[in-house]
Structure 1
Amino acid sequence: MKIKYALIISGLFLTLAAFGACSSDAEEKDKNTQASSESQQLWTCGMHPEVILHEPGQCPKCGMDLVPLKQSGAAQTAAEKTAEQSGERKILYWQAPMNPTEIYDRPGKSKMGMDLIPVYEDQVSSGSSVQIDPVTVQNMGVRTARVQRIDFSRTLRTVAKIEYNEKKLYTVSSKISGWIEKLYVDYTGKPVRKGQTLLEIYSPELVTTQQEYLLALKNQRMVADSKFASVREGAHSLLNASRQRLSYWDIPQAEIKRLEESGTVRKSLSLISPANGVVTHKNAIDGMHVKEGQDLYQIADLSTVWVLASIYDSEAPWIRVGQEAEIELPYAPGKILTGKITYIYPYLDEKARDLKIRLEFPNPGLQLKPGMYANVLIQTSPIKDALVVPVEAVIRSGKRNLVFIAREGGRFEPRDVRIGEESDDGKIRIIEGLLGNEEIVISAQFLLDSESRLQEAIQKMLAEKTGSVQKESSAKPETDHIKSKSPVDETDHSGMDMQIDEKPAVKKQSDSEMKCGEGKCGGDM
């Protein structure tokens, strides 16, 4: 009985030892497989990155020596594994779920009212980021800078031309026909004052109208005491019609009153200046016949002038009506005059492809003369608390704008951004996509972009090759797992791992048994 229990205990002990050996072999196999997969080195050609081989040699296309292939995206970095094992994940920023370029440095709501979602460091590092060793980064000349948050403004400088103020241009024309009898303003450029007599025109039509007015006035006085109201009203209407006709010819009321009091008809009409200014055009000669509606003078009031400047269409967001501007004349360096932007033209110049803006300046002493050129300086209003980066930090591909973020361990993350205005000192405003104080790449971004595309293509090719190798290995019989076993394992499993054959086992008979079957047994039988 004791022998039976001892055999049972020994069998259990041997069984447990066998299972322990199997599990240790499996763990060792997994470790060896993982180590072999991680330590497997691939080789590629420096001129043909699509060539990837499992052993060193020469490129089959160009004959160059193959170089080791760096598989930066094949496994996670040590920092990522440590973060996963410890369960602590570092949040880089918060992102809007519907707009990846809308990021914040703290949780909250997006512009659409949705909850922001966190973006972890391991997500960024295992995504589209590229990792380059420090030596390559040094050779590429990668330089970085910090995203700044400042009051962003720009100073616009351009060249402008001084023009007449179109709102203060006047034309003097005759409303009656006749002959110029006296010419007082007889040359172009002569200054005139408002109310000054420019010329006198003799007009027979004017004389006739004045005589008709005197007759209507006399008739109205004669029938003033008439008993018939219709007669009085008719005389009054005739007088008003004559007076209205004189008014249409710009005869002043004072002259009409003089005509009523004196009864003397004037044969000439005086044309007076409508404003203070300078005669810019004269079409009047002494003794010349004048037709009705003919222009005789053009007068410009130069108390204010227009300054027409041109800016690029990219500078249009900086300009608004009412902004102050300064001009400096080339012939008077150091003398600054201040004015304002009064109008922005709603179209571009088709030939010059620029935008016209109009500035208005006071002109004391007539220093600003139409036709002059001037240097314009416009100090724009600052954009408060704006995120700005160097212009060279942005890669503009046409469809998207990219900025590379510099991470720890030689990792670089491409990120889409929305750009805004540019300043004159080489900075550009970032509307969305970056956070303050982030470290960005400001040189060699195109090399980083090409490197990221190259690594992405290599990883795709590696994935295709790995998939084909796995398919081939799965098609082969699995014999690699057979290993030499320990004596305990062999002794124990010889009885446990039995297989049942289709044919029954035939027992070999001994010589004595065969003799007994033939009737030749010994005497003991």
Structure 2
Amino acid sequence: MSDKILELRSLKKYGGYAVVLLIGLLLGYFLFNSGTEERYHDRTQETLAVTSYTCSMHPQVSKDKHGKCPMCGMDLVAKNIMSDGTTLGVNQFSMSENALALANVQTTVVGFNDNKDNNGTTMVLSGKITSNDRTNAVQTTLFDGRIDKLDVNFVGEYVKKGDKIGLIYSPEMYLAQDKLLTSASYKDTHQKLYAAARNTLGLWKMTDAQIDEVLKTGKPMMNFPLYADVSGTVTNIMAAEGNYYKQGDPLYKVSNLYTVWAVFDAYENQLPFLKVGQDIIINSSAFKGEPIKAKISFIEPVMDEDKRTVSVRVTLNNKDRKFKPGMFVQGSATVNYKSQQLTVPKSAVLWTGERSVVYVKSNADAPTFEMTQVSLGESVGDSYFILDGLSPGAEVVTNGTFTVDAAAQLQGKKSMMNSREEGNVSSLNLEGTKVLLEIKESPHISKLVHAYFDLKDQLVKSDSKKSSAEALKLQAILGRIDFNHLDESLKADLENFKEYNNAIAVAKGLEEQRVQFKNLSQQMIIIVDKIGGLSKPIYLQHCPMADNNSGANWLSFDSDIKNPYFGDKMLTCGTVARTIQ
């Protein structure tokens, strides 16, 4: 009986605890839930304080209500205005603090590079050792013949002037010796004939001793010995035994390696800091810790168009044969630049074809950025001089730059992939507009021409994948043109253009793309000729060797030839046929 009483008391005790817990939960729900909803609502209102609408393709469009873009017809998307009431600029965008931290985005304030002590900065150039062209020489044959034996067998062998270098069989020399023997029998009566025959052999570098030996034996020499005319180290062998060579053909090349050249490549923006007579310190991994001090002896006046560099030459004493032709070296030159030069770290600069851009933090108190185009000066160390585009105190992104650029692209702002300036609807940079055709004002045709040039540039670079991508962009532009309002002639031309462009988009290789590009270009020429009213001249260029020497045309904004049918194989092959105004 007592056990049942204890059990009953225990149930009452725990039941009371459960009731208290339930009451606490209910009180907590009613006390805190309404406040949470209110705070959540407040934060939402803070983020979405003011909303306007813009177009992803045309950020300059701004509307108070949702609708269609007046330029391309796309749905407008909401853009948030900051809670303090400030509106982001057309090409400004923001990033969250979390995104900045994950990408390790860092910024640097642009300032002047003072050079008060004038100690300068070190510029490093890369180059290699070459033979001194002024000491190079070539051993040639003095008469026609077949090389039966060649004693110069390998590069690096030293040959001294007068050394026997091989044997040559020459029918011409054999006949000349035979003529000498014949004239010798009439020496007393035909002295001039004998002298002429002897002089002929002398002109072919046959010595008096050799001539006397032929006269003594009474037999012509079948294999005539060859003797070195020059001394030096063999750098290239161009002859082989058993081959027939004509008079003057090269057998091998020699060089006097007591002096050599160190030839460095300097880029355009480095040239203002280099001059003949300037000191340069040369280092090589072959002799670490033993830098050589020398002076710049020559700077080539012509630029290498392929490498876009100029050769800077240094003459080195090489009596101990320390430097070997082909050896890589580094040159360090001290650069003294003017004080008060505005500079920016190299890591901040992005390249978009011919333009250089940086991302500027537009609000010191908020993570908002904007792409800015800059004009670069010379490159010194880890920095570029800024000629235009930035002011002292500007804060630029120096780490995580590509992440910031990706954020700009995702938000539809100006970026590396979309860096063209937006302006008047009828400008050549118009994107995606469907308008009625007017002969003198044809913005959609202008856009088509620009996209055609982008395709042409990728073919110049021999990039098949990007050429296909540009052809797809052309398809999109063609899809935005309202064909219903075009005259029948132009409509037919554009239909043909569309067909050739589609063939490029699905082509399986670069060669097939270039074949179709010929047809595409011919159709574009017809369209541009019909439209007229161009704001700038377009050059019709022709390559006579394209399409298996049948010739092909293309259009370009630049009068300089850059051949899309051969690329870097024959980049400048072609001429300007005419100018379309």
With normalisation by structure 2, the TM-score equals 0.39
Larger radius of gyration, structure 1 or 2?
A: 1
Which protein, 1 or 2, shows the higher relative CO under an 8 Å CA cutoff with sep ≥ 6? 1
With normalisation by structure 1, the TM-score equals 0.42
